[in-house]
Amino acid sequence: MTSASQASPDVPHAIQLRPATVDDVPRLAQLEREAFPDPWDAAAFRSLLRGAASRVTVAEADGLVVGYTVLVRAADEGELANIAVAAERRGCGLGRLLLDDALALARAEAVSAVYLEVRESNAAARHLYETAGFEAIGRRRRYYRAPDEDAVLMRWRPPVAVSDTAAGGVRS
């Protein structure tokens, strides 16, 4: 479990990150309905929790789940399939805390890249991703419904450690 106070001075100290369990599913589905016009249902979360390739992480404050991420692994790549924070908790650094944790998890699993799609109009999420090192690499036309909207496809790659390049010699 991660103590939020280690990660960001802006996040309330009582926030804890931990892997989700099946007991969290009703609350995850509730937050999902509040966050998205096309929400995943409880069955989708239960299925993710059964899957060996998915990591569902929740942020908990005083015993209440207030945010979550879903990271899905496919071969050596990852997809940030979902991230949401309870509406009344947004703007306090919790989204960044959750995203940093998901990217740390991806690095620990040695992924070569993490991909995601985001609604073009979702300024808060796009800002969060861009400042975490994601870059826009494409667009999926009318990817979203209710309302119809393009998705921006983004990619994050783990920073290359100096020790990884040292043996490669001079490149230019």
Q: For binding to ligand COA (CB under 6 A), which residues are involved?
A: 35, 83-85, 90-96, 118, 122-125, 127-128, 131
Min separation Cβ 120 and ligand COA, Å:
11
- Single out the catalytic residue among 68, 115, 129, 144: 129
Do residues 153 and 141 lie in contact, with contact meaning Cβ atoms separated by under 8 Å? Answer: no
Q: Which residue is nearest to ligand COA (CB)?
A: 95
Specify whether 117 is catalytic: yes
Transcribe 58-84 into DSSP letters.
EEEETTEEEEEEEEEEETTEEEEEEEE
The dihedral built from the CA positions of residue 62, 63, 66 and 71, taken in this order, carries a sign that is positive
Closest contact distance (angstroms) between CB of 29 and ligand COA is 14
Query: In the complex with ligand COA, which residue's Cβ is closer, 34 or 164?
Result: 34
Please say which residue, 94 or 102, places its beta carbon nearer to ligand COA: 94
- What count of Cα atoms within 13 Å lies in the side-chain half-sphere of residue 128? 22
